[in-house]
Structure 1
Amino acid sequence: MKILIICGSLRKKSYTRTLTNIVFDYCREKFAGHQVDYLDLGSQAVKQFRGFDENYGQETKAAIALVTNAEVMLIGTPVYNGLLSSGIKNLFEHINYKALDGKVAGFIIQASGPISSLQVQGQLVALMAYFRVFTNPRAVFTYRDQHFDKEGNLIDKLVEERLKRLAEETVGLAIKLKE
C-alpha cells in the first residue's frame, strides 16, 4: 500500500506541518511494510497550474506522481479566510480527475478557531468527490490557541491520538475497499 501524507501549508513555521509530521512519523512506524511518502508543499515547489499542455519542472512532476501513485492520502491544510490552502488547490489542479478514482483520503484541518473548519472539510470532501476519492468522515480539527504552545508545539495529547486514529481508519478503509 502506498500512503502519502500531504502538508498543504506554504508557511515556514506551520502548525499544519507539525501535525503532518506527527502523522508521517506514526505511519512510517505503524505501516512499516508499506511505502509511506511525505509531500510538503512548503518546501517542494509545485508550479502554478497553467493547463495540462504546459511543461512543468521536475519538482512539480514528482509531486504529481506522488499523488497519482498513492492509494491513501492524509491531507493537512490550514484554514485561510474560510478556505483550504491555495497550495492544496493548486496541487490538485495538476491531477487528471480519472487518476484518483477509488483511492482514499483523510483530512487534518488546522485553523485559528472552529468557525471555518467544517466549511473547509466540506471543500475537501467536494474536491475529493470530484476525483471519486473515498473520504474518511472523521477529520481531525485543531485550533492554534487551544492545541499549541507559543512556539508551535502540539500540547494536546488527545490530538495526537486522534491523528493516529485518523491514519489507522483511513488506511483501514483502503484495505477494506480492496477486499
Structure 2
Amino acid sequence: MKLVVVTAGLTQPSSTRLLADRLASAVSRRADVRTQVVELRELAVDIAGAFVTGFPNAKLRAAIETVTEADGLVAVTPIFSGSYSGLFKSFFDVLDNTALTGKPVLIAATGGTARHSLALEHALRPLFAYLRAVVVPTAVYAASEDWGGAADSFTDGLGERIERAADELAALLTHTRRPEEERLVPFEEQLAALRRTDGISGA
C-alpha cells in the first residue's frame, strides 16, 4: 500500500515535518506501506502559478498524482492565525474535489501554543469532509511544549496521541484494501460454473 505524507512546514528543519515523520513511522509499524513525502514548501511557486494560469505544471501535476493515487494520507500543517496555512489550503484547492473520495486521511498540525489545537476540528476536518475523504477520529496537534512531554493524569502525551491516530489509520488502510487473493471472475468462468451446477442438479 502507498502512504503519502503531505507536509506544509515552511522552515528546514521543521516541527511540522518532524511530526509528519513520526506519524508515518507509527503507521508503517502497523501496516505494510510504502511512504512517500510531498513537501509543499518546494511547490509553493508551482501552486501559485497554477492559480494564475489555471493549469498545474509538470512538477505540481506529479505531486497531485502522487496524492490522488495514494491508499492513505497523512496531512500536516502549521497553524497560523487559528487555521491551516495558506500554502496547505492552496495545494488542496488545486485538487479535483473528488480526488480524495473515500481515501483514509490522518490530519495533524503544529503550533506555538495549545490554544490553536481546535483548528484541527473547525478547519482541517471540515476541509477533508468537503473533499469526501474518510478522516480518522484522532487528530494530532503538537504545540511547542508537547515535544518531549509525557502524559499526565488529564491528557495523553504527544506520543500516545500519535500511536492512537496511527492505529486508526492503519485499521482503515487494512479494511479498505482489496484482498490480494480476490479477483474479478470473468463472465465465461461464472457461466461455466453455473452450467456445471445445473448439470449436477439435473442428474
The answer to whether TM tops 0.5 is yes
After superposition, the Cα gap between the structure-2 partners of 1:8 and 1:98, relative to the gap in structure 1 and judged at 3 Å, is: same
Per-residue deviation, 1:107: 1.3
Aligned partner of 1:39 in structure 2 is 38
Q: Does 1:18 align with 2:30?
A: no
Matches of residues 45-56 of structure 1 in structure 2 within 5 Å?
45=44, 46-48=46-48, 49-50=50-51, 53-54=54-55, 56=56
Per-residue deviation, 1:135: 0.7
Q: AA paired with 1:85?
A: S
Whether the 8 Å contact between 1:10 and 1:87 is mirrored in structure 2 is no
Per-residue deviation, 1:50: 1.4
Give the secondary-structure state (helix, strand or coil) at the position aligned to 1:96.
coil
After superposition, the Cα gap between the structure-2 partners of 1:135 and 1:85, relative to the gap in structure 1 and judged at 3 Å, is: same
In structure 2, distance between residues paired with 1:64 and 1:36:
15
Q: AA paired with 1:173?
A: L
* Number of positions where the alignment pairs a residue of Structure 1 with one of Structure 2: 170
Q: Whose helix proportion is higher, 1 or 2?
A: 2
In structure 1, distance between residues paired with 2:53 and 2:30:
37
In structure 2, distance between residues paired with 1:97 and 1:175:
24
- With the length of structure 1 as denominator, give the TM-score of the two structures: 0.82
Percent identity at matched positions? 24
In structure 2, distance between residues paired with 1:162 and 1:69:
27
- With the length of structure 2 as denominator, give the TM-score of the two structures: 0.73
Deviations 1:128-162 (A, max 9, x none): 11111011121111111x123xxxxxx23642342
Whether the 8 Å contact between 1:3 and 1:37 is mirrored in structure 2 is yes
Aligned partner of 1:151 in structure 2 is none
Specify which structure has the bigger relative contact order, considering alpha-carbon pairs within 8 angstroms and separated by 6 or more residues: 1
Whether the 8 Å contact between 1:105 and 1:170 is mirrored in structure 2 is yes
Give the secondary-structure state (helix, strand or coil) at the position aligned to 1:64.
helix
Q: Does 1:109 align with 2:113?
A: no
Deviations 1:34-62 (A, max 9, x none): 222111212344422417842x3222112
Aligned partner of 1:79 in structure 2 is 79
Give the secondary-structure state (helix, strand or coil) at the position aligned to 1:138.
coil
Q: Which moved more, 1:158-167 or 1:104-113?
A: 158-167
After superposition, the Cα gap between the structure-2 partners of 1:52 and 1:28, relative to the gap in structure 1 and judged at 3 Å, is: farther
Per-residue deviation, 1:105: 0.8
5+ unaligned residues in a row in structure 2: which ranges? 151-156, 179-203
